[in-house]
Chain A
Amino acid sequence: MNHSRAILTLAWREILRFLRQRNRVIGAVGQPVLFWLLFGAGLESTFRLGESGQSFRDYYFPGSFMLILLFTAIFTSISIIEDRKEGFLQSVLVSPVPRWGIVLGKVLGGTTLALLQGLLFLSFLFFTEMRPGLFEIGQLIFLAGIAAFGMTSLGFVLAWRLDSTQGFHAIMNLLLMPMWLLSGAFFPIPSLENGSFLLHWIMRCNPMSYAVSGVRQQMDGSFLTADLAADYWFPSLSLCWAVTILFSLLMFSWAWKTSSRRVQGDLR
């Protein structure tokens, strides 16, 4: 049995529902844009990255981009809780679509939305000093898509186990915001020699650090100068790709496994 139509339908449904709730667009894009503008302006005079002299506004841009992906991916996952509450999920669970297909449909929908909003924000790139070529932009979008896929899958895992959107927001504040803050999005990962041992390893073990760094390197490959490499730790671009792909695959597998669990909400 070919499940591609069911998967695409589930993905399209996410997009359709999103477009019919326009306040979600404002929530997902508005806040990171506001943060970027305010932090960028406020910290412009105090932050300068090594001899490359990258301004905070430019440094923070990839971080804001990833924050949009994260927000959208996670907010999309809330729809699982809503679907369960509204009873829609129950009817999907007893359809002939296998669980992996249900997960893939939901995650693809979330990924597409995250990426579309990320692309909207990417147009602000012209207000920075970063000038990536078309090839780099293509790679950046691809990498961002993989990262968004992983983050939506992670959101799926969290949402599947919860029965309230309030609980989901609590988890988000407790887990996902620190995950983003400690990804090098807001400040670079200190080297072992120049920074805290604990902070270095927490940030280094954070899979989002690799997505952020990868996006940053695709946006501006020239920012990484020799003096920066001594003070801060930046993973290589190939490592960023490898870790991001691995993270996404693991998260999807986890989401698939989680979806085979029954939760009380399915038995209403």
Chain B
Amino acid sequence: MMPINTADEQAAIQIQKVHYRYGSRHALVDLDLVLPLGKIVAFLGPNGSGKSTLFRLLSTLIPLQDGSISVLGQRLPQNVLSLRKMLGILFQSPSLDKKLTVRENLLFQASFYSLSQREASRRVANTIEEFHLGPYKDDYVEKLSGGWQRRVELAKVLLHRPKLLLLDEPSTGIDPQARIELWQILRRLNQATGLSVILTTHLLEEAEKADQIVLLNEGKVVANDTPKNLRQTLGNEILTIETQHPKQLQRNIEEKFSLPTTLLRQSIRIEHTKGHHLVSTLVETFGDEIDSIQLGKPTLEDLFIQKTGASFRAD
């Protein structure tokens, strides 16, 4: 296991040479990463990119195989119980006891973190108020809507006042309004208390709301920066061309204009500094072959395509 030599006090997480396998499949490949305290960081990647494995490692659900991880200055796996006191973990699948009421779920959670009876009651009352759960506090969780259940879950994992909040696909199963509210709560907590938040997502629009994005693919970090900086690295305009014979047209464009192109999901994509000029040239030259042509600003998906040559979404 590689040692972490210098404990960076400003780092929420330090990861060095972490490698993780499921049998012969490599989920994480020699991963190095340092994440700052007090930020909202999104792990963005398609299915199989390694973000869930990374989440499980950080949440102490699975043990380290190779490399070293330090979370909030606690090295894994030696200080796992001390670390768990400082973590709030929201899983993708629901983790509430549906046969218990909202209040009972919160009180039970408090007992796992050794809060005294009085302190637990006080915090539960405050949390119910803070998350506007008052009208539902004596309802069985199974009777609440998906959005309210997610809200209760968030309240539950914040009850013991963690320093780091880990969220696995937090928007799963909730409607757009509940998503907006979830992000409002996260941002408010982050700004008011300096709570560090790390979340995994496969939704580009969700990742864009974070302070920092770690783009993962095939177990490796392909990009790590703020959303703004990541978009600026592309700088170009993106042309997307639809045609009946994409391979043939791609070859023709590359031969005629010496332009690098990418073929994705039967569409030809071209990055160009003056894309709007190129549109008319392409239409004049290959008008008969082109079904449609679209000009747009680069997105995180374009960055992913540029870095990996692959589509973000499954074909």
Contact = CB atoms under 8 A, between A and B. Distances in A.
Interface string B105-118: 00111011110010
Interface in A8-42: 8-9, 13, 16-17, 20-21
Nearest to A95: B112
A96 B91 contact: no
Given A93-B61, A267-B62, A13 B97 contact: yes
Q: How extensive is the interface on chain B, given as a class?
A: 20 to 34
B112 A96 contact: yes
Given A86-B97, A267-B56, A95 B61 contact: no
A95 B113 contact: yes
A13 B81 contact: no
Contacts of B59: 94
Contact of B95 (A87, A96, A98): A87
Contacts of B117: 5
A93 B111 CA distance: 14
B99 A91 contact: no
B81 A96 contact: yes
A91 to B, nearest CB: 4
A268 B92 CA distance: 8
Most chain B CB within a 10 A radius of its CB, from A13, A20, A98: A13
A90 B100 contact: no
Contacts of A245: none
B187 interface: no
Given A13-B108, A94-B59, A1 B81 contact: yes
A231 B100 CA distance: 54
A21 B96 CA distance: 17
A266 interface: yes
Contact of A94 (B89, B96, B99): B89
A103 to B, nearest CB: 14
B90 to A, nearest CB: 9
A123 to B, nearest CB: 28
B151 interface: no
A267 B27 CA distance: 14
Contacts of A87: 91, 93-96
B87 interface: yes
Given A87-B96, A90-B95, 7 more contacts: A2-B114, A16-B104, A87-B91, A87-B93, A90-B93, A95-B112, A96-B113
24 contacts: A1-B114, A5-B111, A5-B117, A13-B100, A16-B100, A16-B104, A17-B99, A86-B95, A87-B91, A87-B95, A88-B95, A91-B89, A91-B109, A92-B112, A93-B61, A94-B60, A94-B61, A94-B89, A96-B113, A96-B114, A97-B112, A266-B61, A267-B56, A267-B62
